[in-house]
Chains A and B, each alone.
Chain A
């Protein structure tokens, strides 16, 4: 190959590379802009609605004025309930998959099951919650039914995170404990789990964020259009932030009038969910940095 054709061929090869890298950078930029654009827009329109009263008062005047306190409380209950269901179940499943049945048909079936459960559409979880908890078990539409439905929805997330955290515990810890004549269960409970705890908690927090933002699963299982009073038991219906947004934005005669309330509620939900996610992301990077083993 003589010098000149080599040079021109290189030039065209580098031209293609520049084009490709440009497209790649552009896609990253677009994604970033999408997130920032949505956040900025909601923030700019929503922050005026955020007052002390908005956060602490119930809605008034057929939900055209007042605050969103019952929805905040309802989302809190549903989310806490969901994590109470999913965390123990998820951690136990992860322990089984990582410590007891690493390979074999059973763990393979369970893994496929967990993956498929993760892929079930959220509205189908809603249908299941309706058919099973609300109708079959006769809970009615209530916190309990909604929390159980959300709990099952986030179970695969929790299992995945817990599994990863448990796998990250060095094998040498397990060996050291077993070599001292400590039983497998004690080794798991006293050495493996404490070491995996930060990672498990990070996963739990991400699960909380997911549960707090879901609408479809609670539409038929827990969420009320409007409640004047706060729930007194787990068999009461509740308002919830995501459902409240949906209701205000689509099903009223005052849709334009209540825009500020809608923006405000969206802002509260975003702050809540992304705040939770951000805590998890920061926690995870701290765990990675402080890892002493």
Chain B
């Protein structure tokens, strides 16, 4: 039976392909693990010098002093501050623009606005950083009579521009996914479009919108070039929104070039990377959990 034999080798080939493809697909997971391994490999040696608590909650970041101090609390606060204020701007704008695209805009404008948001997402962060430096910074400095225009407000505005496309496009998907029957039922009961959007559509899309907001926040907290260029760079705990800060990402990007190889400073920057990685990983897992739970139970629980 020649045919049988031939088909046997074919089946072996099929199984081999499946396993090979599975391995390559699994590479994404391996890479994630590899990132963690190498962050730890270069970051852990720091903790021979200082404790984890001193590192996380130490309020002094003087990595090049003698003796050096590696407290990243001011950097963490800096990251949280710019992210918080960026979300204050980006969340309403992102969600409202998604509502506009999904529910209100005429077809032509909808397509254009979607393209605009996609292009906004495509703007390189260094370009936004540059814009913040040469335009927003000087304007803020003059208008509010500040010592520097490179501060939390500036960083928050530019970060918001980066986070809006994420929030808007994911929210839009969530709004589209609301079954038409819900809307029709609401209209049939005499509700206005506004009432339908606020009371039926947005609540039904809420888990998707939450995912969007979390991912937008993750995007903002992990963003580097913008905060490197416009946050001002002061490694101190800010007292006002016009103070300069030095978020974690900015600190890593600015100092890695100068940190001597495998010095305490070098290890401290990798350790900062671990903190950053953990925060964004947590955000992403939460987002994944929310969107997944929603998929399983459906909108019936709302």
A110 and B222 in contact, given A24-B99, A131-B39, A245-B126 (Cβ under 8 angstroms): no
The answer, yes or no, to whether A159 is at the interface (CB within 8 Å) is yes
Is A215 a contact partner of B120 (Cβ separation < 8 A)?
Answer: no
Alpha-carbon distance between A149 and B236 when the two chains are bound, in angstroms: 32
Q: Which of A14, A270, A285 contacts B127 (CB 8 A)?
A: A270
B25 and A96 contacting across the interface, CB-CB below 8 Å: yes
**Docked complex: B246-290 residues within 8 A CB-CB of A:** 249, 252-253, 256-257, 261, 269-270, 273, 276-277, 280-281, 283-285, 287-288
The proximity string for B residues 1-38 relative to A, scoring 1 for CB distances below 8 Å and 0 otherwise, is: 00000000010011001100110111111011011001
A220 touches B116 (CB 8 A): no
The answer, yes or no, to whether A156 is at the interface (CB within 8 Å) is: yes
Stretch from B56-64, B68-76, B130-138, B180-188 that touches the partner: B130-138
Tell me the smallest distance from the CB of A273 to a CB of chain B, in Å. 6
Contacts of A184 in B (CB 8 A): 14
| B164 proximal to A (CB < 8 A) | yes
Instruction: Identify the stretch in B47-55, B140-148, B190-198 within 8 Å (CB) of chain A at 4 or more residues.
Output: B190-198
Q: Which chain A positions have C-beta within 8 A of B193?
A: 17
User: A266 CA to B123 CA in the complex, in Å?
Assistant: 11
Interface of B is mostly: helix
CB-CB under 8 A from B257, the residues of chain A are 219-220
Tell me the nearest residue of chain B to A121, going by C-beta: B222
B28 touches A38 (CB 8 A): no
List the B side residues contacting A31 at CB < 8 Å. Answer: 93, 97, 113, 116-117, 120, 164, 168
Q: Is the CB of B122 within 8 A of A210?
A: yes
Residue of A nearest to B24 (CB): A92
B18 touches A34 (CB 8 A): no
Least Cβ–Cβ distance between A152 and chain B, in angstroms: 6
Closest to A13 in B: B192
Given A42-B131, A123-B276, A270-B124, answer yes or no on A110-B14 (Cβ-Cβ < 8 Å).
Answer: no
Residue in A28, A38, A41, A212 whose beta carbon sits within 8 Å of that of B113 in the complex: A28
- For B28, B225, B280, the residue with the greatest tally of chain A CB atoms inside 10 Å of its CB is B28
**A112-B288, A116-B285 given; A216·B253 CB < 8 A:** yes
Which B residues lie within 8 Å of A123 (CB)? Answer: 222, 224, 249, 252-253, 273, 276
Q: Inside 8 A of A235's CB, which chain B residues have their CB?
A: none
Q: How far is the CA of A177 from the CA of B32 in the complex (A)?
A: 37
Return B51 CB to nearest CB of chain A, in Å.
Answer: 22
In the complex the two chains form, is A215's CB within 8 Å of B135's CB?
no
**What are the interface flags for A53-96 relative to B under an 8 Å C-beta threshold, 1 for contact and 0 otherwise?**
00000000000000000000000000000000000010011011
Are A93 and B24 also in contact (CB < 8 A) when A121-B222, A130-B256, A269-B124 are? yes
- Selected from A32, A106, A216, the residue in CB contact (under 8 A) with B22 is A106
Q: Is there a chain B Cβ closer than 8 Å to A117's Cβ? A: yes
CB of B104 within 8 Å of the partner chain: yes
CB-CB contacts below 8 Å: B216-235 with A: 218-219, 221-225, 228-229
A242 CB within 8 Å of chain B:
yes
Given A92-B25, A242-B126, is A20 in contact with B194 using a C-beta cutoff of 8 Å? yes
A109 CB within 8 Å of chain B = yes
Interface string of A139-156 (1 = CB under 8 A from B): 000000000000010011
The answer to whether A27 and B35 have CB atoms under 8 Å apart is: no
Output the nearest chain A residue to B266 by Cβ-Cβ distance.
A130
Is A168 an interface residue, CB under 8 A from the partner?
no
Instruction: Report Cα–Cα, A26/B96, bound state, in Å.
Output: 9
Contact A156 B127 (CB under 8 A): no
Tell me, yes or no, whether B129 is within 8 Å of chain A by CB.
yes
Q: Quick check: is B215 within 8 A (CB to CB) of the other chain?
A: yes
Nearest residue in B to A206 (C-beta to C-beta)? Answer: B122
Taking CB atoms, residues of chain B closer than 8 Å to A117 are: 28, 31-32
> Across the interface, do A215 and B224 meet the contact criterion of CB distance under 8 Å?
yes
B135 closest partner in A (C-beta): A41
Q: Which of A193-201, A226-234, A274-282 contacts B (4 or more CB under 8 A)?
A: A274-282
Structural contact, A101 and B13, CB atoms closer than 8 A? no
Chain B residues positioned under 8 Å from A183 (CB to CB): 10, 14
A47 at the interface (CB under 8 A from B): no
User: In the bound complex, what is the Cα–Cα distance between A122 and B118 (angstroms)?
Assistant: 19
Give the complex CA separation of A270 and B104 in angstroms.
Answer: 31
In the complex, how many angstroms separate the beta carbon of B147 from the nearest chain A beta carbon? 18
Q: Are B35 and A96 in contact (CB under 8 A)?
A: no
CB distance from B121 to the nearest CB of A (A): 8
Contacting residues, chain B, for A122 (C-beta < 8 A): 125, 222-224
B35: nearest chain-A partner, CB-CB: A128
Alpha-carbon gap, A120 to B218, bound state (A): 9
A185 touches B14 (CB 8 A): yes
19 CB contacts below 8 A, A to B, read A24-B104, A28-B97, A31-B120, A38-B127, A92-B21, A92-B25, A93-B27, A95-B21, A112-B288, A119-B218, A120-B222, A122-B224, A123-B253, A124-B35, A127-B252, A127-B256, A185-B14, A242-B124, A249-B130
Instruction: Kindly list 6 other residue pairs between chains A and B, CB separation below 8 angstroms, not including A28-B97, A273-B124.
Output: A41-B135, A123-B253, A124-B280, A213-B122, A214-B125, A246-B126
Residues of B participating in the A interface, judged by any CB pair closer than 8 Å: 10, 13-14, 17-18, 21-22, 24-29, 31-32, 34-35, 38-39, 41-42, 92-93, 96-97, 99-101, 104-105, 111, 113, 115-120, 122-131, 133-135, 161, 164, 168, 192-195, 197-198, 215, 218-219, 221-225, 228-229, 249, 252-253, 256-257, 261, 269-270, 273, 276-277, 280-281, 283-285, 287-288
